[in-house]
Amino acid sequence: MKVSKIHKEGYRIILWSLLLVVGINTVVDAYVTYKWLQYFIIFFSIVLFLMIVWFFRFPSRQEQSLPTEVIAPVDGRVVVAEEVFEPEYFKDKRLQISIFMSPLNVHSTRYPIDGEVVYSRYYKGKHMVAYHPKSSELNERTTVVIRNPLVGEIMYRQVAGIIARRIVNYAKPGMKVQKGGDAGFIKFGSRVDLFLPLDTDIYVVISDPTRGGETILGNIPPRA
């Protein structure tokens, strides 16, 4: 049985939200005389608190893939699957797979492949809607490159959306990471881009749903 727990990035926000709900309802009970208004405020505050808890869920996922296969780093829906020029690190053509996350999706990020982190960089930027074609280049973002001994280097990029205001990235250069492991969190709406070698056999198309840590995006032929 798969179990969801709370991601550690949500502990503080959930605690403060709980204290706020308790405080509001204490004031309402003491000073609001209309029962219907009391019930409405109490109901609304509890629903809002449960939505915050739901946002920070971190479900257990069972990663089952070949060593050369790349898995989805996040829950969401594929919005880009095309060949592009990657100017930041590779400076050549790559296959880009982009996954858009709505506020209802799980927002934890998972490592898409095993290997060593060789590049990790944070960029300040704008907060355009995450599905905008230029958001990958202009929005607040982090870029991480993982070197896998079988398939070489792949890149993933966490991109903040219009309401996201904090990207949490655990990947640091020199770290050994495991496919499906906890790589960070993007708070309140975003997308993740992956940049893969051109000869990758892609398994997904635009509009396909993904489950972070489970959905296999494609297979990269081993390097000689």
The CATH number fitting domain 62-219, selected from 3.10.290, 3.30.420, 2.40.350, 2.70.70? 2.70.70
Domain spans of the chain, in order of start? 4-58, 62-219
- pLDDT mean over 35-57: 88
- Could you read off the pLDDT of 64-104 as tens digits, one per residue? 899 999 999 999 999 999 999 999 999 999 999 999 988 78
Is residue 203 pLDDT above 90, yes or no?
yes
Cβ-Cβ contacts under 8 Å for 73 (sequence gap 6 or more)? 99, 109, 110, 111, 112, 156, 183, 192, 194, 212
Provide the whole-model pTM.
0.82
User: How do beta strands 115-123 and 209-210 pair?
Assistant: unpaired
What tokens does 178 get? 């495991």
Query: What burial letters (b/e) apply to 145-164, b meaning 16+ CB within 10 Å?
Result: bbebeebebbbbbbbbbbeb
Q: Confidence class of residue 1 from pLDDT cuts 50, 70 and 90?
A: very low
Rounded Cα–Cα distance for residues 103 and 62 (Å): 23
Rounded Cα–Cα distance for residues 88 and 111 (Å): 20
Is residue 135 pLDDT above 70, yes or no?
no
Host H or E run for residue 74: none
Residue 112 carries which DSSP code? S
Q: Confidence class of residue 137 from pLDDT cuts 50, 70 and 90?
A: low
Active site residues: 190
What tokens does 56 get? 């920070």
